[in-house]
Amino acid sequence: MNEQYLHHFTVVMLLCFISVAHAANSDPIIGGTLIFGRGGDSIGLDPGHEEDGESFKVCENIYDTLVQYKDESTEVEPGLAESWETSDDGLTWRFHLRKGVAFHDGTPFNADAVLFSLNRQHDPNHPFHNVGGPYIYWSHTGLAEIVDTITALDVYTIQITLKRPYAPFIYTIAMTPFSIVSPNALRKWKEDFTNHPVGTGPFKFARWDRGDKVVLEVNKDYWGGRAPLDRIIFRSIPDNSVRLIELQNGSIHAMEFPNPDDLPQIREDPALQIIEQPGMNVGYLAMNMDKKPLDTLKVRLAVNHAINKHDIITHLYQGMGVPAKNPIPPTMWSYDDSIEEYTYSPEKAKQLLNDAGYPNGFDTTLWALPVPRPYIPDGQALAAAIQSDLRRVGINAKIVTFDWGTYLAKIKNGEHDMAMLGWSADLGDPDNFFYYLLSSEAAQKPAGNIAFYRSDEMQEILVQAQSITDQAKRTELYKKAQAIFHRDMPWVPLAHAKQIVIINKKVQNLKLHPTTWKYFRQIWLEE
């Protein structure tokens, strides 16, 4: 970074800090509608079934969980449970629920609602267990196997008993998929509850025009205190440049995923402000090990050597990302920086392909992200760059894409050869990356592990790391897991990107969170 740019960046960030600090010290203005521009639509709004960021972005403002993350922290605080305790062996967790809380439909929140929400995911005999699709997070986090029973001790006390100790349990239960839903609304709407969501959160669902916008209205009786805004509109604007134009024109108040090339002009716009922080994410190219020739290690290593990752990040991320070599980001504890990344070397890639029995390369498909994501800002541009790199070593990759919902459904069913995807942390624990993305459990369809990588050695380490609480020992295990990943290379790890939101300076008190989108609860608009 040159000195002139560094000075400019420092001044801009100082002004941003002063502005945000001033806003935080001001009394919030009640009222107003915030219009938030995003890259794609939600897939569904029943949190138990969802797994994508665009769905969670909305769900986190409609629903609450038993415990929740503190502002700007991955530590937990009371949510719908005002207190909790655990047994010495870590197997029994007891939650004491808030009294006087109501769902948006007016029905009471109590232990029965928690039992309904969580046991529909856990208990195969629950009448709603097979309604609305699979409970992906419950399965791929391992909770399906780890949780023994969920019971009510009285009207406002829940007990969850585990089969084995699970170190990140209290952080995992704070995740959006384990939100508490209205049993009354779910019984009424059944499979269509995803289009008529009802929770206890700070905002109520108002309408959803698919492909266009989701509208939420304030819950004036929210147990945590009324949110300042009257309304939030999440607008889907797939083109990054169009989204920026709408922000500059005042049609929206905030946006995600700017084109990195546009950042210099955004910094010079007196009406706009960049809010950013290091992202807890990873973008990757998964190689489907159920498909030939990607089941061959030398072929996967060849793909890693063929892709000029550093060049891609320089041009596509414009300084807003760093090259990835591990499946967890550098900001995550246990990250092993001693792992040596596979360097860009077309010659090495060609030699590996020759050794693997593919001297003339092979034909394959490269599935490109159809919407911008925190970890990959432009899937189509990235696909073109990767396609060009692969062609140089004889791999002919046809680019394939679909709409966001179809894309996710197909890759989780294993229809791809190579596919782009990524992960943003749900909690500040390596287990959240490793178990969902690389465990054998997560290779079951619909898969979180879309490389369909199955390693008994990896699985054993991941289960062991879940079962102990000593962080030093867990760090050793996750470093072993990183070494196994590096040896077997089911992905090309691409980048860790910064988390960025661009706002009109009328937007006050927007503070990014490492893992969630709950910051809408605190935002207000300056007149």
**Separation of alpha carbons 287 and 419, rounded Å:** 7
* Residue range 392-412, pLDDT digits in tens: 999 999 999 999 999 999 999
The pLDDT of residue 323: 92
**Closest listed residue to residue 423, CA positions, set 455, 450, 462:** 450
Numbered ranges of CATH 3.90.76.10 in the chain: 64-200
The residues of the chain that CATH labels 3.10.105.10 are 281-497
Q: What is the pLDDT of residues 106-118, one digit of tens each?
A: 999 999 999 999 9
Cis before 330 (ω within 30):
no
Q: For 468-505, how does the pLDDT look when each residue is reduced to its tens digit (9 = 90+)?
A: 988 899 999 999 999 999 999 999 999 998 888 999 99
Identify any residues that bridge with 235 across adjacent strands, giving them in sequence order.
37, 213
Query: What is the spatial distance between Cα 196 and Cα 192, in angstroms, rounded to a whole number?
Result: 7
DSSP string, 358-398: -TT-EEEEEE--SS--SS-S-HHHHHHHHHHHHHHTTEEEE
Number of Cβ within 10 Å of residue 108's Cβ equals 14
What confidence score (pLDDT) does residue 162 get?
A: 97
User: Which residues, other chains included, contact 22 with Cβ-Cβ below 8 Å and sequence gap of 6+?
Assistant: none
With a CB cutoff of 8 Å and minimum separation 6, the contacts of 305 are 342, 343, 344, 345, 346, 348, 349, 352
Q: What is the 3-state secondary structure (H, E, C) of 244-279?
A: HHHHHHCCCCEEECCCHHHHHHHHHCCCEEEEEECC
Superfamily of the domain at 281-497: Dipeptide-binding Protein; Domain 3 (3.10.105.10)
**239: Cβ–Cβ under 8 A, 6 or more apart, which residues?**
none
User: Is the bond preceding residue 446 a cis peptide, omega within 30 degrees?
Assistant: yes
In the chain, CATH 3.40.190 sits at 3-37+240-277+499-525
CA Rg, the chain, in Å? Answer: 23
The domain made up of 3-37+240-277+499-525 is a member of CATH 3.40.190: yes
How far is 221 from 198, CA to CA, in rounded Å? 14
- What pLDDT is stored for residue 278 in this prediction? 78
Write down the pLDDT at residue 82.
97
CA angle 84, 86, 89 (to 5 degrees): 175
Q: Which residues of the chain have pLDDT under 70?
A: 1-26
Contact in structure between 499 and 276 (CB atoms under 8 Å): yes
DSSP state of 8: H
Nearest to 393 by CA among 311, 302, 313: 302
What is the dotted CATH code of the domain comprising 64-200? 3.90.76.10
Q: Are 34 and 507 in contact (CB under 8 A)?
A: yes
pLDDT of amino acid 6: 36
